[in-house]
Structure 1
């Protein structure tokens, strides 16, 4: 990816999105982020992120952010609603981002969802699936919308997320049956590696820590990102 244009990150105020923004800035890559509050924006601006105040649920806000004066070459979305949110952005927010990315002609769109979405539903224990089903349904709708829009995409489905520092043991697999845990900082590194990986184009991948994969699962092949 070029150093003259921006990577747009949605969901950068917390969690994996925040880790992605921090990691990209550390690599001297320009980052632009859409944030709902001035407080969240100030925190990221201090790290060098260019911020735009707005809501992913508002089409005009999203278009103003992605189609603004600063060229955006790739979009990374980690949008996800909290259990307390009435209006969850998992589908509508991502749909708005995808539509704006199509208009902007971005080179790649990376969508971070969750194991349990789409065909990885087979990896989820029934009790967890029942609890998460409403949000997983929205995430699957976002995945399908992205895959059907002609954009160059990578979909990353992390396992159970932990907040400790990166371990360096994060891996990707195209096998939807595999489940386990991973640190948010390791997900961020895998997502950023996918930006420049042609192998990752048009792929749906699960992200896990190789030392935190649940026992008793079938043998699987680790996805090779190639030269990135």
Structure 2
């Protein structure tokens, strides 16, 4: 990890994105975050994060943030909307980030989506699938766009997210048939570990707490980040 370059985080105002930004700064890694509001910017600035005001749905804002003076080593995005949102950032916002990352020649792009995307669609109970479908469709489009971008990517699909402190029991697996829950802080730690993992290059991985996997599911093999 170079001391002169930044990790760029989109979605850092709340949830997993904020946990990622906090985790990185705690390790003295320089973080730049794209934020829509002054309030969010001030909150993160107090944690030592460099805020950039802008909207991921606007190409100019994203390019200004990623193609600025400071070199960006990697991009991590947790951008996502609610099923009720009119314009969801899950595809458009992430597409803008991917395009800018290609121009900036970043070394790694980590996209956090959700179990239920792509070939993990069968893991979700039908009711959950029905509720989340509008968002999952957009997230899946972002996954495909990233895979086809030529960037070195890692796609992380967490299970059901909880806000309690980290348990340290988060695991990654390539098994697309398992589902369960995981704490946001544990997802953040797994995502940050992927930054320096060659094994994670061009992988699509599910993230779960090994003690919160739903019973009666197939065996899984824990993915080794090395």
TMscore range, shorter length = over 0.9
**Contact 2:82–2:135 at 8 Å: present in 1 too?**
no
Correspondence 1:80-159 to 2 at 5 A: 80-159=80-159
SS in 1 for 2:154: strand
SS in 2 for 1:80: coil
2:212 aligns to what? 212
Q: CA deviation digits over 1:69-100, x for unaligned, max 9?
A: 11101000000013443211000000000000
1:39 aligns to what? 39
Q: CA deviation digits over 1:23-72, x for unaligned, max 9?
A: 00000000000000000000000000001000000000000000001110
Q: CA deviation digits over 1:164-213, x for unaligned, max 9?
A: 00000000000100100000000000000000000000000000000000
2:74 aligns to what? 74
SS in 2 for 1:156: strand
2:186 aligns to what? 186
- Counterpart Cα distance in 2 of 1:126 and 1:211: 23
- Aligned residue pair count: 226
Runs of 5+ consecutive residues of structure 1 not aligned to the other structure? none
**Contact 2:199–2:225 at 8 Å: present in 1 too?**
yes
Runs of 4+ deviating beyond 6 Å: none
- Over the aligned positions, Cα root-mean-square deviation in angstroms equals 0.6
**TM-score, length of structure 1 as denominator length:** 0.98
Q: CA deviation digits over 1:105-147, x for unaligned, max 9?
A: 0000000000000000010111110111110000000000000
Runs of 5+ consecutive residues of structure 2 not aligned to the other structure? none
**Contact 2:83–2:132 at 8 Å: present in 1 too?**
no
1:53 aligns to what? 53
- Counterpart Cα distance in 1 of 2:48 and 2:69: 17
- Counterpart Cα distance in 2 of 1:55 and 1:111: 17
